[in-house]
Structure 1
């Protein structure tokens, strides 16, 4: 999580530096809210590219390029609990750190992965080909319209999301299918660890606060993050010379989520 710390520190330093300059008319410079985050990825398969290994035991299957533009992974909807921490620079401008429990994202498989016409795996059979926990802290600046005493205060904002993916798990049925593949069975194939790259993404936000009283408020927002990442994986096998890579591949994953938030907050 070192990258996450480095990403947040400059914003934190800026926030601390501006505390002495804050001037809200009601004296309340901080707010915290928690609620329901609904994540709706606008996801489409981006193809799977790769190559076979160079072991001589692979025979004619060695050193072959594999391009599968119709295959890939699509991220499914998810729900989680959000936590929003706000610092008000003045009545209209605020800085927000968006946190929350990392949702488990499901990746559905699309298309087939083939090597020179040989079908390696049919991803269409797996609605949950893989799962991963997604950590997506976001720093944003917001402009709140109207007076601080208004009952309803719309706002717009923009920021930067940092996405970190961990605990990537694949469907055990994929390994079973690889082992049953007549072209790979002799090598006792096993899917290696899947790595999903960290990524940054710009975020746009539209929302409104609904003041219940001087301290409590309800809040609702919709945001969009232009988030894409890349997954890398290997299929390993056993030969008389030892363990070797049978197939290595990678796929871009287009997430681009629309995220809705409903929460209850407190100002102080």
Structure 2
């Protein structure tokens, strides 16, 4: 089963895990209240897919992969929040060319974003959007086996987020989100730049479970 199909299955499980939540309409929850809680945390799994053609004309492809992710959000009020999001482990990517596998790289992104959550805090379904800044630690590049080390500089740039929270109780919720990161990196051979502005531009799809306090 592919990573994307696994994530789709996880999303379906999260959405049907609480029949009580689906018994609600899109109005406020009937017990306790989510409003006024200022901190939320989410743990989940995310599939990250880099740009499929990072060097136009080079016929190089970079495979995506899954990794666990964590986020913490401070809610200024019921609609506005500031989120710190990142990978709890490294994403592993296989780099392929016309003749097959070239090598592998790993990356571990982290991002800080402002968010806007639509509707009332107690609504069963709450979509949100975000915009911020991210950078990714590139490590363990193995792109030139047997030769001089080929490395990538740290990609950094803007990140955009769209997502949907499903309130299960006033404390617990399920989340599905997608993110797009715009960034460029330089390739270096033995410390000397050999290629500039490699187009990475990864996107992500993730699911998770969160709690508010």
- Taking structure 2 as the reference length, what is the TM-score of the superposition? 0.77
| Runs of 5+ consecutive residues of structure 1 not aligned to the other structure | 1-23, 48-69, 110-123, 176-190, 235-246
Q: How does the TM-score come out when normalised to structure 1?
A: 0.62
Give aligned pairs, total.
179
> Structure 1: how far apart are the matches of 2:38 and 2:162?
21
Q: Distance in 1 between matches of 2:168 and 2:96?
A: 42
Deviations 1:96-124 (A, max 9, x none): 01112121122223xxxxxxxxxxxxxx2
Cα deviation, residue 193, structure 1: 1.2
Give the match for residue 106 of structure 1: 94
Matched, 1:211 2:184: no
How far the C-alpha of 1:154 sits from its partner, in A, is: 0.5
The residue matched to 1:42 in structure 2 has which SS?
coil
Residue of structure 1 in register with 2:37 after alignment = 28
Aligned to 1:262: 207
CA contact (8 A) 2:34 2:171 kept: no
Q: Which residue of 1 aligns with 2:130?
A: 157
2:130 touches 2:162 (CA, 8 Å); kept in 1? Answer: yes
Alpha-carbon distance, 1:130 to partner: 2.0
Max Rg structure: 1
Mapping for residues 209-248 of structure 1, pairs under 5 Å: 209-234=165-190
Assess, with a 3 A threshold, how the Cα gap between structure 1 residues 203 and 211 changes in structure 2: closer, same or farther. Answer: same
Say whether 1:40 aligns with 2:31: no
- Shift of the 207–45 alpha-carbon distance from structure 1 to 2, 3 Å rule, reads closer
Q: CA deviation at 1:252?
A: 4.2
**Partner Cα separation in structure 2 for residue 147 and residue 222 of structure 1:** 22
Q: Which runs of 5+ in 2 are unaligned?
A: 1-32
What are the within-5 Å matches in structure 2 for residues 131-142 of structure 1? 131-142=104-115
Confirm or deny: 8 A CA contact 1:73 1:253 kept in the other structure: no
Structure richer in helix, relative to its length: 1
Counterparts of 2:60 and 2:189, CA distance in 1: 13
What is the rounded CA distance, in whole Å, between the counterparts of 1:215 and 1:98 in structure 2? Answer: 20
Aligned to 2:21: none
Secondary structure of the 2:123 match is coil
Describe how 1:1-150 pairs up with structure 2 within 5 A.
26-46=35-55, 70-71=57-58, 73-100=60-87, 101-109=89-97, 124-127=98-101, 129-150=102-123
Q: Are the counterparts in 1 of residues 42 and 71 from structure 2 also a CA contact under 8 Å? A: yes
Separation of aligned partners in 1, 2:208 and 2:35: 22
Deviation at 1:25, TM superposition (A): 7.2
Secondary structure in 1 matching 2:78: coil
Matched-pair contact (CA < 8 Å) for 1:72–1:251: no
Compute the displacement of 1:228 (Å). Answer: 2.0
Partner of 1:9: none
Deviations 1:57-86 (A, max 9, x none): xxxxxxxxxxxxx32633211111110111
After superposition, where does 1:193-204 map in structure 2 within 5 Å? 193-204=149-160
CA root-mean-square deviation: 2.2
Asked if structure 2 preserves the Cα contact closer than 8 Å seen for 1:95 and 1:140, the reply is yes
